[in-house]
Amino acid sequence: MTTVALRHHWSGDSELQALQVAAKALAGVDLQWSDAPRPGGIEMVKMHGQEIVAAAASVPGLIDLSGHVDVAELRRRCRPCVLESMITPQGACHGIPMGIHRSNCLWVHADDAAVPASFVGWLAWLDARRGRITHPLAVSAEPWQVGLLFEVVLLSIGGCAFHDQVFARADPQAMASSRMRQVLDGFVQLRDFVSQRSLASNWRMLAQDLREGRVAAFVMGDWARKEFSAWGGPPGDAVGEWQVPGTQRLALFNVDYFVPIMRGDHAASDGRLAGLVSCLIDAHVQQAFNRAKGSLPAVLDAGDELLTQEWVPSMSFDHACDAQRRQLFATAATAFFLGDETRDRTIDRLIEGT
């Protein structure tokens, strides 16, 4: 029996449950899930969008699946937002799309107030909660979380065209614009709503703080939904899910891909690779995998949930730009939000770094 090993950093209950779904499905086509690569087996790496693009340009062992699968069928079945990273303009196919996450989610403690329509309305909503909670907004000091907060503020204030100019195109004029100054001014206003306790926590601790009413709002992707439900009872009894005010018609997305690679001279047969892809993009497997993980299936025939919103590739999870630029944005945002960097120095740092 051919083994399949996946290199990943997933550790949450929902993530591990999703992996068990994949393992069970693969067993049905005579592929055995393994914790470690074995000679003659199939090794995969979990990647996001731009990680695949970078790997295709620099990793000799990245396998082109176009010779093992029907790429035209993949194009028909997959949601359009997953295709750009996995299928190159030349027709090479790298990556098996497993699920789509949306990261512009705002989780709020049970509240009867209307959803704010704009970033300014969100500031007012947070300020109105100070009577009950001195610091109503939860965010960790981890750069990826501060970077995500910065990204959703930019999307809320600037819109998706400005998001594309800054993150995907690294347009220096956009970064030096009055709109970027407006974004940074709005972003730093959120700092006053965040406590030192939150800054010292990780995202799962912050989710618990929200559930128990110690904070009123928390920006995190839709994967947090599984974290809330894992504590018993439907998440709606204590936690509401909004989109970040100002981004209601937008879906800031990132896709999880399993990317087969070849180590040395060991390569699985064409039939094994074809069977692997066919199994993992099966509609029933995609339904079960994403139900466990809290994400949206990557294939259209796996369910009837169709988003009419505009899809926006997330900078924070390697879709809008490569890892180097993502790190630049996250570290610059953190230095500005938590340190003593000025707005103008932050803009200069972004322009010089890109």
* Residue ranges per structural domain of the chain: 2-101+255-307, 102-251+314-353
The answer to whether residues 157 and 186 touch, using CB atoms and an 8 Å cutoff, is: yes
Query: Which of the following CATH numbers is that of domain 2-101+255-307: 3.30.70.100, 3.40.190.10, 3.40.718.10, 3.40.50.150?
Result: 3.40.190.10
pLDDT on residue 137: 97
C-alpha of 191 from chain center: 23
pLDDT on residue 346: 98
pLDDT-derived band at 264 (thresholds 50, 70, 90) equals low
The answer to whether residues 341 and 166 touch, using CB atoms and an 8 Å cutoff, is: no
pLDDT on residue 1: 81
What is the amino acid identity at position 157?
I
Mean pLDDT, residues 180-206 taken together: 97
pLDDT on residue 228: 82
Residue 27: closest CA among 276, 257, 258: 276
Query: Whole-structure pTM over 0.75, yes or no?
Result: yes
Give the Cβ contact number of residue 55 at 10 Å: 17
Q: Write out the two tokens for 314.
A: 């997330």
Residue 109 has pLDDT above 90, yes or no: no
Contacts of 236 (CB under 8 A, 6+ apart): none
pLDDT-derived band at 193 (thresholds 50, 70, 90) equals very high
The reply to whether 102-251+314-353 shares the fold of 2-101+255-307 is yes
Mean pLDDT, residues 255-283 taken together: 85
pLDDT-derived band at 230 (thresholds 50, 70, 90) equals low
pLDDT on residue 205: 93
Residue 232 has pLDDT above 80, yes or no: no
Mean pLDDT, residues 338-345 taken together: 96
Residue 307 has pLDDT above 70, yes or no: no
Residue 94 has pLDDT above 80, yes or no: yes
**Domain 102-251+314-353 carries which CATH code?**
3.40.190.10
pLDDT on residue 308: 64
Give the model confidence (pLDDT) of 2-53 as tens digits. 899 999 999 888 899 999 999 999 999 999 999 888 888 899 999 999 999 9
Which range (119-133, 160-174, 215-229) has the least confidence? 215-229
pLDDT on residue 279: 97
pLDDT on residue 61: 81
Residue 237 has pLDDT above 70, yes or no: no
pLDDT on residue 313: 97
Which range (215-224, 256-265, 266-275, 278-287) has the least confidence? 266-275
For the chain, the residue count is 354
**β-strand 310-313 against 250-261: which pairing, if any?**
parallel
Residue 96 has pLDDT above 90, yes or no: yes
pLDDT-derived band at 328 (thresholds 50, 70, 90) equals very high
pLDDT on residue 177: 98
Mean pLDDT, residues 192-217 taken together: 94
Q: Write out the two tokens for 188.
A: 């730093």
The pLDDT mean for the chain works out to 92
pLDDT-derived band at 295 (thresholds 50, 70, 90) equals very high
pLDDT on residue 306: 54
d(CA 115, CA 141): 26
* Helix and strand numbers, DSSP H then E, in the chain: 15, 10
* pLDDT above 70: percentage of residues in the chain: 94
